[in-house]
Chains A and B, each alone.
Chain A
Amino acid sequence: MSDERLSVFKTYKLYVGGKFPRSESGRVYEVTDSKDNWLANAPLSSRKDARDAVVAARKAFGAWSGTTAYNRGQVLYRIAEMLQGRRDQYVREVADAEGLSKSKAAAQVDAAIDRWVWYAGWTDKIAQVVGGANPVAGPYFNLSSPEPTGVVAVLAPQESSFLGLVSVIAPVIATGNTAIVVASEKSPLPALSLGEVLATSDLPGGVVNILSGRTAEIATPLAAHQDVNAIDLAGADEILAKELEIAAADNLKRVLRPQPVDYIATPGIDRMTAFLETKTVWHPTGSLGASGSSY
């Protein structure tokens, strides 16, 4: 027997509606590092967990989408602050999950923190960049502004367990959507730990919900769910992506197809615009009609 202190293992749990439940199914699966050493048992989420997460995301949508962009920006920045404080923990988790050296894992975590900061700054600028006044040929005030599309299912990328994860969550919530995130199937632990940061970051419960398990098993009911408005297929392989896109057509979900992404590079705005609607409002500016009445 070594006289080294026995460490305390962590029971990883889901993050749904601001709480940390176990999977409703009572199932777990074994998560290993790159050398096949046991790391933890992660919850193996069921269809019911996915549906519960949709209910939580829908419930949170009204308040989160109605929050001022300034406030949303501060909440996102707060997430970066919390992450910074736990940097060492994530470096360790990412190194284990992806088999990276300490320094490479640190680079990933730093980039992920910077990404939150980048998106925090976007919340109150995206409307100015993609919205605006339309010079219609007539006496009308006419304004287009972007609005969140609603509840978004996000299949996190499989390979980039933390930077990739952050890169797909932040743009969805920066614009006022709420999200159900399916963590990387093989490396879910950084995602499950992210829940702990989100829970202490002023982010209202239900805005981000994190599930772990078999991507195909969880994604199928999400893609078919009538109360989900959009789906990001980043973490789906080609065959699964096609199946999910077909299922998503049933209620005309907005679909972001999988595409090669360099997660280290500064992103464009397309991950935000993919989940925005454009609302255009008209109002007369002078004459009110044929009767000739005016302002």
Chain B
Amino acid sequence: MAPVFDYAPAPESRSIVDIAPSYGLFIDGEFTEAADGRVFKTVSPSSEEVLSEIAQAGEADVDRAVKAARKAFQQWSALPGSERAKYLFRIARIIQERSRELAVLETLDNGKPIKETRDADLPLVAAHFFYYAGWADKLEHAGFGTSPKPLGVAGQVIPWNFPLLMLAWKIAPALATGNTVVLKPAETTPLSALFFADICRQAGLPKGVVNILPGYGDTGAALVAHPDVNKVAFTGSTAVGKEIAKTVAGTRKKVTLELGGKGANIVFDDAPIDQAVEGIVNGIFFNQGQVCCAGSRLLVQESIQDELLDSLKRRLATLRLGDPLDKNTDIGAINSEEQLTRITSLVERGEAEGAERWSPACEIPSAGYWFAPTLFTNVTQAHAIARDEIFGPVLSVLTFRTPDEAVAKANNSQYGLSAGIWTEKGSRILAVASKLRAGVIWSNTFNKFDPTSPFGGYKESGFGREGGRHGLEAYLDV
């Protein structure tokens, strides 16, 4: 079906952001080369254009950064909370001032639509700094005793799907509670963290309080294993999370892990269908499905399966895939070639196992990494696409007949991060929510985030909570 109206291109100007040809590591308040001189390139996934050359931190750099953070810890933790709060408020304000620049930068480096960086990521980044700024001088009211103490140096490793937002989730509570940090951004999305280093400079943050070390998995592993790191915070895959749990075994390091998910989005026969369809789309196609809490398993009550799927397919046909800097784009690029390969191979496995694949007619750009929104029907619980986290725009549809069956299928997963419930019946929402083994449950909505709201998983989706009062515990000696 041809669209009645075509949209004119509406590209966001990229002149607002000035990307330097190369960036160093940010250690002790200075940009510096890696000790062994290694560098890597970061590319724009929508065009494969090289954006910049980045210094790659090795073990010696990790050691230098941890030393800087240790030195800075003495003064930073001794500051009155009200002073730390003001630094965090400053950072929040500067983020707001520079949010258009940061949104464009994030879209360039990550490949996600400007609509999402502008309207979701950046407002949430600022909100997290605002929220935790206010905690810095009120920690004795947080429920962790009358004088909760910081842990020391926090080693933080974050993923590429929400680069600046994950930085905010990690750095804001760490600084509010008086810790200093060494943060490793993902190798495919290091730029916004390096711009954040400049925000620290503008805010006058004391040297060494925040250190940024771009690099690959080995950099992260060195940081996690460093004997002078007191706290490890990681967001990423379950497999790496397990490695980290083994690395910190037998040490006194406190650890929090935000890992994978295979969220069940349960639609009952009395659900508001139009809202549910929007929620399903948002649940699995937000950020190209590269979201750990994505609603990647649709559990639909059998009696409304046809009606819902017709409606869903009609809606998917209206999604616009293409230039992430275009304000009308719904689906941007997959973050990297490696991730695209992973999605492709899991989808091929779904077909090989007998599930039925469907995508709307969709033009794929010639350069960059792209994957059309995809849904699978005839999926059983035994299929890999129903069990494994795909981390892409791929929805697996399963059916159920009774609420108990929905709960059993939803819980039939090694993961337990998120779930959705769609029904007009309040008692059903509460009953099902209480039975689901997941840390975040959205009823009649999906993929909502807020700094005051704890986020984190059950089972192999990791442990600890980020956000809210609960998020403070991860950075306090309690």
Q: Do A and B come from one complex?
A: yes
Task: Report the contact-size class of chain B (Cβ under 8 Å from the partner).
Answer: 35 or more
B460 touches A134 (CB 8 A): no
Interface residue B272 (Cβ < 8 Å from any Cβ of A): yes
Stretch in B10-18, B100-108, B165-173, B237-245 touching the partner: B237-245
- Specify which of A135, A245, A282 is in contact with B249 (CB 8 Å cutoff): A245
Q: A270 CA to B454 CA in the complex, in Å?
A: 18
For B107-139 the 0/1 string (1 means CB < 8 A from A) is 000000000000000000001000000000000
B454 touches A280 (CB 8 A): yes
A252 touches B259 (CB 8 A): yes
A144 touches B468 (CB 8 A): yes
Decide yes or no: A279 and B438 within 8 Å by CB, A134-B468, A252-B259, A252-B459 being known contacts. Answer: yes
A278 touches B456 (CB 8 A): yes
B448 touches A138 (CB 8 A): yes
* B221 CB → nearest A CB, Å: 15
On B, residues with C-beta under 8 Å from A are: 127, 143, 145, 238, 241-243, 245-246, 249-250, 252, 257, 259, 272, 274-275, 278, 414, 429, 433, 438-445, 448, 450, 452-456, 458-460, 462-463, 465, 468-470, 478
A289 touches B238 (CB 8 A): no
* B247 CB → nearest A CB, Å: 9
Q: Identify the closest chain A residue to B443 (Cβ).
A: A283
Chain A interface helix/strand/loop/mixed:
mixed
B259 touches A134 (CB 8 A): no
Query: 28 interchain pairs (CB within 8 A)?
Result: A130-B470, A134-B450, A134-B453, A136-B452, A137-B450, A138-B448, A241-B250, A245-B245, A246-B249, A246-B250, A249-B245, A249-B246, A251-B414, A252-B241, A252-B259, A252-B463, A277-B458, A279-B440, A280-B440, A280-B441, A281-B433, A282-B440, A283-B429, A283-B443, A283-B445, A288-B444, A289-B278, A291-B275
Counting chain A CB atoms within 10 Å of each CB, which of B249, B439, B452 scores highest? B249
* B235 CB → nearest A CB, Å: 14
Q: A254 CA to B463 CA in the complex, in Å?
A: 7
- Extra 15 A-B pairs, beta carbons < 8 Å, given A249-B249, A282-B453, A291-B274: A130-B143, A136-B448, A138-B448, A140-B445, A238-B250, A241-B250, A245-B250, A246-B249, A252-B259, A277-B458, A279-B433, A280-B439, A281-B433, A282-B442, A288-B272
Decide yes or no: A280 and B275 within 8 Å by CB, A130-B143, A245-B250 being known contacts. Answer: no
Q: Identify the closest chain B residue to A283 (Cβ).
A: B443
Interface residue A229 (Cβ < 8 Å from any Cβ of B): yes
On A, residues with C-beta under 8 Å from B are: 129-130, 132, 134-138, 140, 142, 144, 149, 229, 238, 241-242, 245-246, 248-252, 254, 257, 268, 270, 277-284, 288-291, 293
- Chain B residues with CB under 8 A of A281: 433, 441-443
- Specify which of A229, A242, A270, A288 is in contact with B250 (CB 8 Å cutoff): A242
* A246 CB → nearest B CB, Å: 4
- Chain B residues with CB under 8 A of A135: 452
- Chain B residues with CB under 8 A of A279: 433, 438-441, 458
* B372 CB → nearest A CB, Å: 24
* B148 CB → nearest A CB, Å: 12
Q: Identify the closest chain B residue to A273 (Cβ).
A: B473
* B128 CB → nearest A CB, Å: 11
Q: How many A-B residue pairs have CB under 8 A?
A: 115
B448 touches A282 (CB 8 A): yes
A252 touches B454 (CB 8 A): no
- Chain A residues with CB under 8 A of B246: 246, 249
- Chain B residues with CB under 8 A of A129: 143
B275 touches A288 (CB 8 A): yes
User: Which 7 pairs from chain A and chain B are nearest by CB?
Assistant: A242-B250, A249-B245, A245-B249, A136-B450, A134-B453, A246-B249, A283-B443
* A291 CB → nearest B CB, Å: 6
* A249 CB → nearest B CB, Å: 4
A278 touches B444 (CB 8 A): no
- Specify which of B241, B259, B445, B458 is in contact with A282 (CB 8 Å cutoff): B445
Q: A284 CA to B443 CA in the complex, in Å?
A: 8
Q: A30 CA to B245 CA in the complex, in Å?
A: 37
Q: A293 CA to B444 CA in the complex, in Å?
A: 13
B450 touches A142 (CB 8 A): yes
Q: Identify the closest chain A residue to B452 (Cβ).
A: A134
Decide yes or no: A250 and B439 within 8 Å by CB, A136-B452, A137-B127 being known contacts. Answer: no
* A18 CB → nearest B CB, Å: 24
B444 touches A283 (CB 8 A): yes
Counting chain A CB atoms within 10 Å of each CB, which of B441, B453, B456, B465 scores highest? B453
B443 touches A282 (CB 8 A): yes
Counting chain A CB atoms within 10 Å of each CB, which of B242, B274, B438, B468 scores highest? B468
- Chain B residues with CB under 8 A of A238: 250
Q: Identify the closest chain A residue to B469 (Cβ).
A: A132
Q: A135 CA to B453 CA in the complex, in Å?
A: 8
- Chain A residues with CB under 8 A of B252: 257
Q: A38 CA to B242 CA in the complex, in Å?
A: 45
- Chain A residues with CB under 8 A of B460: 251-252
* B343 CB → nearest A CB, Å: 24
B249 touches A278 (CB 8 A): no
Q: A27 CA to B355 CA in the complex, in Å?
A: 52
- Chain A residues with CB under 8 A of B272: 288, 293
* A258 CB → nearest B CB, Å: 10
Q: A282 CA to B455 CA in the complex, in Å?
A: 12
* A274 CB → nearest B CB, Å: 10
- Chain B residues with CB under 8 A of A251: 414, 459-460
Q: A130 CA to B470 CA in the complex, in Å?
A: 8
A278 touches B250 (CB 8 A): no
* A225 CB → nearest B CB, Å: 14
